[in-house]
Amino acid sequence: MNAHSEEERAAINQELKDLYASLSEDDKADFNRQLQSFLAREVGRLKSDYESIKGMNSEN
């Protein structure tokens, strides 16, 4: 997301994959639950932001 190049993005992705692979099964399950919660919150926030902007544009 904040990578400055494709190479940096690939390195970050590999680092995250390696970290995830090193987790125990319990830690992977916990990580997945936390990730799902985070993604649900962010999607909800983005939807709210989008609807606010869309509403502002339709009033003009």
14-53 tens-digit pLDDT: 999 999 999 999 999 999 999 999 999 999 999 998 888 9
CA atoms within 13 A on the CB side of 43: 6
Residue 9 has pLDDT above 60, yes or no: yes
CB 19 within 8 A of CB 28: no
Question: Residue 4 and residue 25: Cα distance in Å, rounded?
Answer: 33
Question: Residue 60 and residue 56: Cα distance in Å, rounded?
Answer: 7
Confidence bin at 54 (pLDDT 50/70/90): confident
Give the pair of three-digit tokens for residue 41.
């919150």
CB 23 within 8 A of CB 31: yes
Residue 13 has pLDDT above 90, yes or no: yes
Q: Which helix (H) or strand (E) holds 60?
A: none
Residue 59's pLDDT is 64
Residue 4's pLDDT is 92
Residue 60's pLDDT is 55
